[in-house]
Amino acid sequence: MIVIIDYGMGNLHSVSKAVERLGYEAVVTGDAGTILAADAVILPGVGAYGDAMQHLRESGLDVVTKQFAATGKPLLGICLGMQLLFEQSEEYGIHQGLGLLEGEVIRFKGEFKIPHMGWNKLQFLQDSPLFLNLNEGHVYFVHSYHALPKNEANLLATGDYYGPVTAIVGKNNVYGMQFHPEKSGELGMQLLQNFLTLSR
């Protein structure tokens, strides 16, 4: 059973449909017991960092997400969900995150279009089970803020938008994808498949 955490903010339908297309049972829920019993958990997210953390805290799902991560079973944050894994974000003020990954989330700065929106090619930086039998290709991003991991060992892949952009992160059983794998064609689905395979 793959659980997609429902905390009131996220592209829940498209993620659950993608998981089901890959042959897995997808359950969308905010129930702590169901989350902790899952084989793998996905934390999606669309919207503002501070609002998302407030929803997680008010529902107690911040604690539940950390408890799940501590089980050693695979956890994946997608888009805003990936950013929430970090220690803090500067989006509309400084907001504390889940702290499962060391680092912060900052706004793009420069004379170019923000948000970063569109297809960008991934560059795999190190070996990861997520990349098993895959070649680098293009995935779909939509974001105005990007993560800066403190530990380079946690940076698995980058995209390029007027410089390197954190695209995939990982530390032990905790993973994050800044882009939307469920909207990123064949490569996105293959990356999601490789993550789900870890649940076995």
The CATH number of whichever domain residue 161 belongs to comes to 3.40.50.880
Residue 11: pLDDT above 90?
A: no
Domains of the chain: total: 1
Q: Distance between CA atoms of 9 and 176, rounded to whole angstroms?
A: 17
Q: Compute the distance between CA of residue 24 and CA of residue 197 in angstroms, rounded to an integer.
A: 10
Q: Which of 55, 116, 146, 180 is catalytic?
A: 180
Catalytic residue chosen out of the listed positions 55, 79, 91, 95: 79
Which one from 55, 95, 116, 182 is the annotated catalytic residue? Answer: 182
Contact status, residue 105 vs residue 90, Cβ threshold 8 Å: yes
Nearest to 14 by CA among 67, 65, 81: 81
- Domain extent, residue 52, equals 2-197
Phi, psi of 118 (to 5 degrees): 140, -170
Q: Is the pTM of this model over 0.85?
A: yes
Decide if 184 contacts 120 (C-beta within 8 A): no
Q: Which of 31, 23, 30 is nearest to 9 (CA)?
A: 30
Distance CA 105, CA 82 (A): 10
In this predicted structure, the answer to whether residue 79 has a pLDDT above a threshold of 90 is yes
Q: Identify the pLDDT of residue 53.
A: 97
Confidence of residue 9 (pLDDT cuts 50, 70, 90): confident
Q: How far apart are CA 42 and CA 21, in angstroms?
A: 15
Catalytic residue list contains 182: yes
Phi, psi of 51 (to 5 degrees): -65, -45
Instruction: Assign 56 a pLDDT band (cuts: 50, 70, 90).
Output: very high
Q: Is-contact 105 91, C-beta < 8 A?
A: yes
Whether residue 107 has pLDDT greater than 90: yes
DSSP 92: T
Residues 179, 30: Cα–Cα separation, whole Å = 23
pLDDT at 8 over 90: no
Sheet strands side by side (includes 75-78): 26-29, 2-5, 40-43, 75-78, 174-177, 164-171, 155-160, 123-124
Q: How many CB atoms lie within 10 A of CB 144?
A: 11
Residue 79 is a catalytic residue: yes
Strands 2-5 and 40-43: parallel
pLDDT tens column, 118-163 = 999 999 999 999 999 999 999 999 999 999 999 999 999 999 999 9
